[in-house]
Structure 1
Amino acid sequence: MEILDWIQNWFKDNCDGEWEKNDIIQITTLDHPGWEVEIDISKTSVANLEIKWILNEINRQDWYGVKVENQKFLAAGDTGKLTFLLNLFRQMIDKVENV
């Protein structure tokens, strides 16, 4: 399944009448340049997960970082990493839900 289809289904499956009224999924650009993804996981099966900031940097044009804190998935990466960042989120959800 394509990542955008998966994100749409994940969002729909977690809607409860209240949670979705907030800024649940935000995708913004960075001035480095790059992408930033923030996803609210507060009402999901991974709400209590905590991951300290992990930075993987090969050079200024090839990097990404990810963390989970305060019930938010936060990831950033270079201009070619948007799909990769969304797939990191998917992998995290799949891993935790399939345990």
Structure 2
Amino acid sequence: MAPDLRYDPDRPDVWTWLQAWYVAQCDGDWEHGHGITIATLDNPGWQVTVDLTDTGLAPDTYTRREAHRSEDDWCVTWTDDTTFQAACGPANLAEALHEFRLWTTGPAA
């Protein structure tokens, strides 16, 4: 049975969760050389890069995800050797961050 991935009002929104995840990584060292970057793409869309160095997350445990629904409604997420990456349409940034959240915490977190 697939996990229930619908919005749960008892869970923090993805923005609040991401801030908490970032703070949890900050140890006086990690934040000086690593972090999260969110930038715009010119097609238009968003690019997200999360440095996974010293976070305990193993990039090889993430399965690439691609959702292409329309020219402006799409989301692609993947990992490389040291980062989680996302590229998505102009209204799909929360979806991309949700994919990162699901991978790091599981569907119930």
Q: Contact 1:52 / 1:69 at 8 angstroms: preserved in 2?
A: no
Question: What is the one-letter code of the residue matched to 1:84?
Answer: E
Aligned to 1:90: 101
Aligned to 2:59: 49
TM-score for the superposition, normalised by structure 1: 0.85
Summarize the alignment of residues 14-29 of structure 1 with structure 2, pairs less than 5 Å apart. Answer: 14-29=25-40
Alpha-carbon RMSD: 1.7
- State the number of aligned residues: 95
TM-score for the superposition, normalised by structure 2: 0.78
Q: Contact 2:75 / 2:95 at 8 angstroms: preserved in 1?
A: no
| Structure 1 consecutive aligned stretches of length 4 or more whose deviation exceeds 6 Å | none
Question: What is the one-letter code of the residue matched to 2:45?
Answer: G
Bigger proportion of residues as strand: 1
Summarize the alignment of residues 2-81 of structure 1 with structure 2, pairs less than 5 Å apart. Answer: 2-46=13-57, 48-50=58-60, 51=62, 53-81=64-92
